[in-house]
Amino acid sequence: MHVQSFVNRPPASHAALVVVTLLPLYLASYRYRLWHPYGGTGSTAVDALSSATFVADWLDVHVIQPFHPSAIAAYCNRSEWHPNLVFTLVDGAEDGMAENVLDFPFYTTEAGASIVLPSFAAHGAGRAGGGITQENMPFRMLFDETWFLSSMTQARPQMAIYKPEQDHKMADALPGTYLPKSRKVDMDLRNTKKAFLEHLDVWLKEKPEFEPDQLTLVNVERTPWQVDTRNLPQEFRRAPGCGRNAAARSYGCARVNSQIHDALNPTSTIPRNAFYGAYMDTRNALASESYSNFSAQTDAHLEQAILHNIKLIYIASKNTTELALFRVAAAN
């Protein structure tokens, strides 16, 4: 009788029973993989570090797939390229190098412009009389220049990359500094590529010196995090590429660490005795945005530390009051 009544129930009841039965199994599997990710081998120590072995193992675990220029090339092919238009990044500061370098290629790609290889003002250095400081650190001091140039040549053959030498005289730039229009459509749906190109076109045509058929050098203002990468092609976001140099530098860090603590295992996604390090920046506009203020940054850092079961946290900030508040939040 009970079997017959169960069989006669509507299909929705059967589906609900299947979901209720499988849900605990899914949650258990999810929790297990969270703490035992694919590619990890637990906390087994490595007795001796071999450069070749470490680099190969590190790349196998920490890089989704080798760099291939097709994703970036497909994105570049959406733009109309202008060989006479050249962008140069104005006064890229050392403390904002990452966001500046990330934004700059995106804007130049969408504008179809070539670039002057960026350099960076040393910490504390600034603008010299409203222009670009001459005492800048070269690109290679902070990034793998050889890999960058090689990769961009493969992915963006239309883009020329100029690398002026110390005594090399560059062409005169158009007067003023161009501040690109934001491309963060998550903040405003009108921040489209079309709107950016129209904004650039208006700025160029306002300059009496601008001649489309002549080489045009444009000083571009820094724009930290003004490109919403979620609008980029999925292949581009999933596989931007990783130079072998990154693995080599990780090996160097591992050698230093092995002299102090246990040797790092390159096949572990989260090494044993790892610590969590972060920089809290709540200056200016960052403090006023709900997604980047002190509370949001604190919650995000603590969430990641807890997620990966990391007990030691190093936080740097110029605000000592916020450091004290972070310590209280972490203790709770």
Q: Residue 98 has what pLDDT?
A: 63
Q: Residue 161 has what pLDDT?
A: 92
Of 106, 131, 133, the C-alpha closest to 121 is 133
Spell out the residues 6+ positions from residue 96 whose beta carbon is closer than 8 angstroms to its own.
222, 224
Q: Residue 125 has what pLDDT?
A: 46
Q: DSSP readout, 132-156? A: --S-EEPGGGTS-HHHHHHHHHHH-
For 244-279, how does the pLDDT look when each residue is reduced to its tens digit (9 = 90+)?
555 555 555 555 545 444 556 666 666 666 778 888
Q: Residue 260 has what pLDDT?
A: 43
pTM: 0.57
Q: Residue 39 has what pLDDT?
A: 42
Of 118, 117, 121, the C-alpha closest to 93 is 121
Q: Residue 32 has what pLDDT?
A: 66
Task: Give the three-state DSSP class for 305.
Answer: helix
CA distance 194 to 75: 15
Q: Residue 129 has what pLDDT?
A: 38
CA distance 122 to 96: 11
Residue 177 φ then ψ, to 5° = -125, 130
Q: Residue 46 has what pLDDT?
A: 42
In tens digits, the chain (332 residues) has pLDDT values of: 455 555 566 777 767 777 778 788 877 776 665 555 544 444 444 445 555 566 666 666 655 556 677 778 888 888 899 989 999 988 655 555 666 677 888 899 999 999 998 877 665 444 443 444 445 677 877 777 887 888 888 888 889 999 877 677 778 899 999 999 998 887 888 989 999 999 999 999 999 999 988 999 999 988 877 777 666 666 565 555 555 555 555 555 555 545 444 556 666 666 666 778 888 877 765 666 677 788 888 998 898 888 888 888 888 888 888 888 998 998 88
Q: Residue 132 has what pLDDT?
A: 42
Which pair of structure tokens corresponds to residue 29? Answer: 């599997």
CA distance 122 to 210: 32
Q: Residue 293 has what pLDDT?
A: 83
